[in-house]
Structure 1
Amino acid sequence: MTNPSWVSARMERGTVLLFVAAGLVMGFALTLPAIRSAVDIAGGSATISLLTEADVPRTAGAEGATLASATFDSARVVAEGLSGQARALLVSGAAFSALTTLLTVSAVVLFFLLLMWRRPFHRALITATQVAGAALLIGGILSAGLGGLGRMMAADELNPAAGGVFVIGFSFDPVWMLVGLGVLALSVVFTYGTRLQRDTEGLV
């Protein structure tokens, strides 16, 4: 006769391993574009997204929907011959983005492994969440800042060949910084949980 508790434990380990595998696959999928972009830029061909306010071509239609006015807000371009400084900034931005993703995914995988080992409040997890939170916060700023400066330089260098359609600027999404602050706050929760677990050991 099969022991239900043994089946339950085996199913639990299988579920956690499934999450670990999913985390590794997602981490690889999220990191690969940044790594590939950094390699391409270092090789001399940069595929980047630049801000633009160029008009969208439009024609008046006899019936149905028509465009009153429209502009592009960005253009994805493949640029060659960029200056070394612009390429270095773009590579640095992509590299920090990849590093941030790797550190964050590593912390998530470690959390699932500790769950499988039935040690969710472990000091290693505190360090991992602190590293991941700092990576999201600082790495996000460095990635956006360095990559943004590189895009600004690229736009300035490409404008003469593109009729001046590119805006010398870059967009910045602060969401990842907020997530980084949330992960750092989560590390405090794990600290209290670890302390509570240590204080209650042997009481039950």
Structure 2
Amino acid sequence: MSRTRRMPMAEAVTLGLVATGAVSIAVAALTGAVSRATEIFASPVAVDLPVHDVKMPEITDAAGVASAELTQSVVTFETLDAGTRWLLFAESALPALATILVCMTLWWLGYSLIRQRAFRRSMVPVIGAAAVALVAAGMIAPLLGGIARAQAVEHLPASAADSFWTFLVQLDGAPIGWGVALALIASAFEVGRRLQHDTEGLV
């Protein structure tokens, strides 16, 4: 790869827009995490709790409807222990952190491409960190949220708690898949960096 040939203006502008968009998304994710923290650590706090076997007769009796039931209820707690609040915050903070790391990776990649230095030594650990963050967001965040909601259900009266799941974790495979894909991309960048180093040595 030549370090002296100038990149075409159209490509440079496109990469600059991508880098700018990545930074904007990262700022939005950070702002959302801060806003969510404000809601969680305030009192009262609203918690989405999964419910089961709660029918909706007014809809079930409608023409053409076989059955209808609720799957989620928003319960507002006047008091909730700090441990549960921190778990709820971690559930939303991990995806936000993964988004920020991915966006920063895109920004660094765009900047490196503009400088025509895509195979930097720092590129592999940057992409690897984003991959780990995505996998953690896809696996750990739902688990922490499930634990937090299980603890919140314990604050409800026994008669009301029977309608809620004692413990329920819903995994989203998309972040995990993207994390694995980024790990493979990091491996490809490492191979490219080595090939570039060997080529420069021959020259």
Task: Give the TM-score range, shorter chain.
Answer: 0.7 to 0.9
Residue of structure 2 in register with 1:28 after alignment = 27
8 Å Cα contact 1:100-1:140 kept in structure 2: no
Q: How does 1:13-162 map onto structure 2 within 5 Å?
A: 13-53=12-52, 54-58=54-58, 60-61=61-62, 65-158=63-156, 160=158, 162=160
Structure 1 stretch displaced more, 47-56 or 122-131: 47-56
- Counterparts of 2:192 and 2:103, CA distance in 1: 22
Shift of 1:189: 0.5
Deviations 1:29-86 (A, max 9, x none): 344333322221122343332211221232534xxx4322111222344433112221
CA contact (8 A) 1:58 1:67 kept: no
Contact 2:137 2:175 (C-alpha < 8 Å) held by counterparts: no
Identity %, equivalent residues: 27
- TM, length-normalised to structure 2: 0.82
Structure 2: tracts of 5 or more residues without a match: none
Residue-pair matches, total: 196
Q: 1:163 to 1:152 in 2, by over 3 A?
A: closer
Distance 2:123 2:39 in 1: 35
* Cα displacement (A) at 1:161: 8.1
Alignment of 1:169-180 (within 5 A): 169-170=167-168, 171-180=170-179
Contact 2:138–2:171 under 8 Å retained in 1: no
Shift of 1:139: 4.1
TM-aligned CA deviation for residue 118 of structure 1: 1.1
Superposition TM-score, scaled by structure 1 size: 0.82
Change beyond 3 A, Cα 1:113–1:45: farther
Distance in 1 between residues matched to 2:116 and 2:141, nearest whole Å: 36
Instruction: Return closer, same or farther for 1:80/1:108 CA change in 2, 3 Å cut-off.
Output: farther
In structure 2, the CA distance between the partners of 1:38 and 1:159, relative to structure 1 (3 Å rule), is: farther
**Structure 2 CA distance for aligned equivalents of residues 57 and 72 of structure 1:** 11
Greater shift in the superposed pair: 102-111 or 70-79: 70-79
CA distance, structure 1, for counterparts of residue 134 and residue 197 of structure 2: 29
How large is the Cα RMSD of the aligned pairs? 2.6
CA contact (8 A) 2:95 2:134 kept: no
Tell me the distance in 2 between the aligned counterparts of 1:157 and 1:51. 15
- Which residues of structure 1 form unaligned runs of 5+? none
Q: CA deviation at 1:24?
A: 1.8
